[in-house]
Every structure is written in structure tokens, then in C-alpha cells.
Amino acid sequence: MKALQFTIPVVPDKTVMVQEDIIPQFYPHLHRHKEAQLIWIIKGEGTLIVENTMHGFGPDDIFMIAPNQSHVFKGQKFGNGTSADVHTISVFYDPNNGRLADFFQLPELSQLNSFLKEYGNGFRLPPQHFHTVSKRILRLKNSGSMDQMLHFLHLLRAFCKLNPRPEHLYTFAREPITDSEGLRMANIYNYILQHYHTALTLEDVAAEAYLTPQAFCRYFKKRTGVTFVTFLNEIRVNQACRKLTGGGYDSIAGVAYTCGFNSITNFNRVFKTVIGTSPKEYISKYLNTVQ
């Protein structure tokens, strides 16, 4: 990966940019950009990694990614590649843009400011509000000039009225990091995402970061707040959950091995630590929920 900071294409004389993507796969690298991104997943599923937290996603999920928040949508690979597997609509805006920042400081927008500060690390839209918010996104997408700004304000106002409240994407304070440190963490994350299903070792990842295992452990914990083993286990369990609820697997043991676990005993133990139930109980609860 050559760059971490991702540049959103700028449209002249536009404060808000709407981008519709119909593509074979999500951008596969951990990245960040100065704009806030409201993204509606129309088609596609997988795992959203934000900083050091993970969130499963699928069609009709809507997320707000905060400015300069490291993230990657790791999509599930399915289909034969002859048709698009991903369809999204994103709304980008820079809340620190001079004119927009000044506008947000108007006293009439104090409620909006309070909401944006409370959810400064992004959020996931509660499913109960999907139809209302998705309609507003479409109106925003299909309008132009002054109407687009009005629809943008209506969209932001809708967020202030959400009940139940949205789910925070990341609850810890984010410390600013340099581009070089961000690039190193991006490379580490991407390496783990590409190899989590293999017999990945601490030594492998440390070598990728050009650190000794001991130095890597300290570095990773300082930057993410969790240990490397904890992070790797959560990725593996998250992928296992998607396979278990997606159906089409031969056995729980088969899922465990394809997600990087070397024994069913270890898988069951780690799964219960991360999720709080055994894999069998998890499947049973899921089936009871969808029936």
C-alpha cells in the first residue's frame, strides 16, 4: 500500500458530494480521508473495520464514518466476477471546511452540533430509521445546487431526531497519528486481513512491520488499545459468524478451520470469549431471530 490518506474527488463549487459506486469489490485497504462519509450499503456484505473495532454489514446498512477515521470495508467474496457485487451511495462533506464550519456554528444549529460532537467517532443507523434516511439520501442524490444543500440539512436534522439512538462505531478517544505511523498501521491491518485464515503468527506480522515480536506487541497495543492476539481472534470470530449465519457450510469445525483456527476446541473457547455464547447457541439464536 503506497498511501493511507485517500483523496475524495472534488467537484468545483460543491460543499456536499454524492457518489454512487457499482463496482466488483470494496476498496480493499485501510484508509482515511478528511471528509465525513455517510455510506448506504445497497448491495454487498462483509465486515467494517473502524480503528480497532469490527462491525458486520449487509444490504440496507447505513454508516457515518468520521473525518480522518481509519476504516476498511472487507467484503465477502461471492459471485463469479461477471457482475457487480457492490453497490453503495456515499455522501461526503468536510465539517472543517471554513464556510461549512462557520455555518454549523449558527445558534439555530446547536442541536445538530451537540449530536455531531456526541457521535464524533461515527455511528451506525438503527434499522428502524432506514426508510426515512435512505429516502433523504436519494433526494439529496437526485437534486442539485440550492436544493441539494436544503436536502443535506434535512438529512442532518433527521439524525438529531433518531430514537432509538445510533450505535457508536468507536467509543475511545482517537489520538492523532502521523502519516508515516498511519501507513505502518494500515500495512499491518491489511496484512492481517489478507492472512487471518492462515496459520498467522506474531513473528509473521512483526516482520511485516519491521519490528521484533516484543517491540511489535508494545507498538500494536499502544496504537489500538488491544493485543495482537485479541484483534486477530476478533477478526476470525467475526468471519466465522458471517459463515455460520450465511449457511452453506459443511460443519462448524469446517468453518473454524477456514477462519484460521487450528482446532475446534480452541475455536469454541475463543468464540465464547468474544461472542458470549457457543457457536451452536449462536446459530440457534440467529435462526430463532430470523424465523
Residue 10 in domain:
no
Whether the Cβ atoms of residue 194 and residue 180 lie closer than 8 Å to each other: no
Look up the CATH number of the domain holding residue 161.
2.60.120.280
Q: For residues 80 and 148, state if they share a domain.
A: yes
| C-alpha span between 171 and 25 (Å, rounded) | 28
Amino acid at 149: M
Helix (H) or strand (E) holding 239: helix 228-246
Q: For residues 155 and 30, state if they share a domain.
A: yes
Residue 160 in domain:
yes
Give Rg (Cα) of the chain. 20
Residue found under cell 466476477: 81
Q: For residues 147 and 213, state if they share a domain.
A: no
Q: For residues 152 and 206, state if they share a domain.
A: no
Closest to 4 (Cα-Cα) out of 41, 39, 33? 33
Length of the chain in terms of residues written: 291
pTM of the model: 0.76
Look up the CATH number of the domain holding residue 213.
1.10.10.60
Tell me, rounded to whole angstroms, the distance of Cα 98 from its chain centroid.
Answer: 27
Pairing of β 36-43 and β 123-124:
unpaired
DSSP 3-state of 36: strand
Helix (H) or strand (E) holding 256: helix 252-258
- How many domains is the chain built from? 2
Q: For residues 47 and 163, state if they share a domain.
A: yes
188, three cell numbers: 499491518
- The pLDDT value recorded for residue 52 is 74
Residue 174 in domain:
no
Closest to 125 (Cα-Cα) out of 136, 139, 109, 140? 136
Q: For residues 109 and 211, state if they share a domain.
A: no
Residue 218 in domain:
yes
Residue 7 in domain:
no
Q: For residues 82 and 203, state if they share a domain.
A: no
Residue 185 in domain:
no
Q: For residues 162 and 209, state if they share a domain.
A: no
Residue 8 in domain:
no
Amino acid at 52: N
Residue 2 in domain:
no
Q: For residues 20 and 164, state if they share a domain.
A: yes
Q: For residues 125 and 162, state if they share a domain.
A: yes
| C-alpha span between 91 and 96 (Å, rounded) | 15
Angle at 112 between CA 109 and CA 118, to 5 degrees: 140
pLDDT tens sequence for the chain (291 residues): 333 566 666 566 788 999 999 999 898 878 889 999 999 999 998 889 888 788 889 999 999 999 988 888 988 765 444 445 899 999 999 998 878 889 889 999 999 999 988 999 999 999 999 999 999 999 999 998 889 999 999 999 999 999 989 988 876 655 556 667 777 887 898 899 889 999 999 999 999 999 999 999 999 998 888 899 999 999 999 889 888 887 778 899 999 999 999 999 999 999 999 999 999 999 998 887 665
DSSP 3-state of 57: strand
Q: 3-state SS of 48-78?
A: EEECCEEEEECCCEEEEECCCCCEEEEECCC
Helix (H) or strand (E) holding 156: helix 145-160
**Left (φ > 0), alpha (ψ -120 to 50) or beta: where does 104 sit?**
alpha
Q: For residues 162 and 236, state if they share a domain.
A: no
Q: For residues 25 and 158, state if they share a domain.
A: yes
Q: Residue 83 belongs to what domain range?
A: 16-168
DSSP conformation class of 171? -
